[in-house]
Amino acid sequence: MHQQFKAISISHHTAPIDVRERVALEEQGCKNLLLQAREVLDIAEMLVLSTCNRTEIYYTSVEDRSEDIIKLIGIQKGLDAHLYKQYFQSFTDHQVAVRRLFEVSLGIHSQVVGDLQITSQAKHAYQWAADVNMAGPFVHRLMHAIFFANKRVVQETAFRDGAASVSYATVELLEDLTTALIQPKVLVVGLGEIGTDVCKNLAENKHFEVTLCNRTHIKAEELATELNFKVLPFSQVEEKMPQYDVIISSVAKQDPFITQAMIKSWDILSYKFFVDLAVPRSIESSIEEIPGVVLYNIDEIQSRANEALQKRIVAIAHVQEIITEALKDFSDWSREMAVSPTINKLKNALEQIRQEELARHLKGLTPAETERIEQITKGIMQKIIKLPVLQLKAACKRGEAETLIDVLNDLFNLEAQSERELYK
């Protein structure tokens, strides 16, 4: 049986944030899962895409390995996999799984439809797979097909128009929350991908006075210089935090970075707004028990849908058309790849016949005569094989290659020839 592409997914569609954050994987966790899948499950090609809203694993296998992969995640995260299995979706049909990766990578299934970050996150997943040699010919071709489709989406549709990403939705929320304030002071803690994107969107709005804080101070300084923001040393963040009207946190940390104990002594005269963009969450949800404290987490950001989001929803039909066209091209390539072993077996079978006959009849000939006959017989072989190869490729596009493969196997006894090659 042929290897088939399959997928499993846990996302905001299937699980609440407290479940998603327990199974979320950072870069090293993704790479560890890739290596474990190869060593334990003998999977040769796999992608692990883990974001704020989803953890998805795409892999090639003859069998459905969904439960095994969930168990590996459970082992790595110290979880009882049986309790989390209910939150995962499984996609075992090859075409469905391929289309799923297209749709996820282009942002169709994002909380904020058309989210710009998801394509970049898919690129990271691809790079991490390549780093540990878990991206073979199938994954390489598939990901490049997705990147080309994304380019078409940007150029041909309104799906990426406006700024309806998670980061923009955050800024839109802040605009609504601080309308009564004159130049509200905003502190952004954590400058990963989402934190940086929020800052770039904040820079487009002169309404805010923004300060950046990051464990790596030089990164905060560089971004602050680029965007004309202020910088707060990370060592002073707890001391200075009460000065700000809005605190946005995207700190990557297993335990909450901002706790109720940290802020319960603050003198809050009106309101303090907190936005938690991290998974796992970086702000304790219990801080809302403190009078004047308002907290939004990443699940609530989706409520900030705007006109740009509506345009993207309308554009989904066009995006799906682009995906369908890309899938057809990719499917044609996949079918050709499926017949490549048969073509190689046929070439090897004919070459073996040629070599055997030459060995019988070339004795006593001069080197020049031998070379001439070599060229003639190679030319004959290439002409003989040309038509079957063309017919196989044409049959691929019609979806009829299996029948022709069976005929060639029977005519030339290719399976036996393959076994001889194996035991040489």
The verdict on whether residue 22 carries a ligand-binding annotation is no
Q: d(Cα 96, Cα 140) in Å, to the nearest integer? A: 18
Residue 51 is labelled as binding a ligand: yes
- 193 in a labelled binding site: yes
- From the candidates 52, 199, 213, 396, which is the catalytic residue? 52
The answer to whether 162 is a known ligand-binding residue is: no
Is residue 396 marked as binding?
no
Task: Consult the annotation and say whether 309 binds a ligand.
Answer: no
292 phi-psi bin (left φ>0, alpha ψ -120 to 50, beta other):
left
What whole-number distance in Å separates Cα of residue 139 and Cα of residue 126? 8
Q: What is the DSSP string of 198-262?
A: HHHHHHT-TT-EEEEE-SSHHHHHHHHHHHT-EE--GGGHHHHGGG-SEEEE----SS-SB-HHH
Quick check: 146 and 102 in contact, CB under 8 A?
yes
Q: Is 403 annotated as a binding residue?
A: no
243 is in an annotated binding site: no
C-alpha to C-alpha distance for 224 and 226, rounded to whole angstroms = 5
Q: What are the angstrom distances between the C-alpha of 235 and each of 68, 213, 223, 260, 409?
A: 43, 9, 18, 19, 71
Other CB atoms within 10 A of residue 64 CB: 14
**407 and 392 Cβ atoms separated by less than 8 Å:** no
Contact 194, 167 (CB under 8 A): yes
Q: Is 76 annotated as a binding residue?
A: no
What is the H or E stretch that residue 57 is in? strand 54-61
Annotated binding-site residue? 195: yes
Q: Is 413 annotated as a binding residue?
A: no
Helices 137-156, 94-106: crossing angle, 10 deg rounding: 50
For residue 420, say whether it is annotated as part of any ligand binding site: no
116 is in an annotated binding site: yes
Catalytic-residue membership of 52: yes
Cβ contact 70:2 at 8 Å: no
In the DSSP assignment, the letter for residue 334 is H
Query: Distance (Å, rounded) from C-alpha 56 to C-alpha 183?
Result: 41
| Distance, CA of 139 to chain centre | 11
What are the binding residues for NADP(+)? 190-195
Residues belonging to the active site? 52
What are the binding residues for substrate? 51-54, 110, 115-117, 121
